[in-house]
């Protein structure tokens, strides 16, 4: 099976979005309620979660 660049890009996008869903669930659980957010917050959580994780990780070192 040959893996093309397109396959890798799609895989990265899917994992990125799934990671954002998981990250959002963790944030919701920590707040003890469903996490309501405006559209910009939605995109920040679903697309920017690796940067938030990195920021927290760097801060804790």
Delimit the domains of the chain by residue range. 5-60
Higher pLDDT, 60 or 15: 15
* pLDDT for the residue 55: 78
pLDDT digits 0-9 by tens, 29-51: 665 555 555 555 666 666 677 77
CB atoms < 10 A from the CB of 52, how many?
A: 14
Question: Rounded CA gap, 58 and 61, in Å?
Answer: 5
Rounded CA Rg of the chain: 14
Rounded Cα–Cα distance for residues 58 and 56 (Å)? 6
| Phi, psi torsion values for 37, nearest 5 degrees | -150, 155
Averaged over 13-26, what is the pLDDT?
A: 75
Percent of the chain residues past pLDDT 90, beyond the cut: 0
pTM above threshold 0.85: no
H-type alpha helices, the chain: 5-31, 39-60
């Amino acid at each position: 099976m040959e893996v093309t660049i397109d396959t890798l890009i799609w895989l990265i996008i899917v994992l990125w979005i799934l990671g954002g869903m998981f990250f959002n669930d963790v944030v919701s659980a920590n707040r003890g309620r469903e996490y309501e957010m405006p559209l910009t917050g939605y995109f920040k959580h679903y697309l920017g979660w690796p940067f938030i994780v990195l920021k927290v990780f760097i801060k804790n070192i």
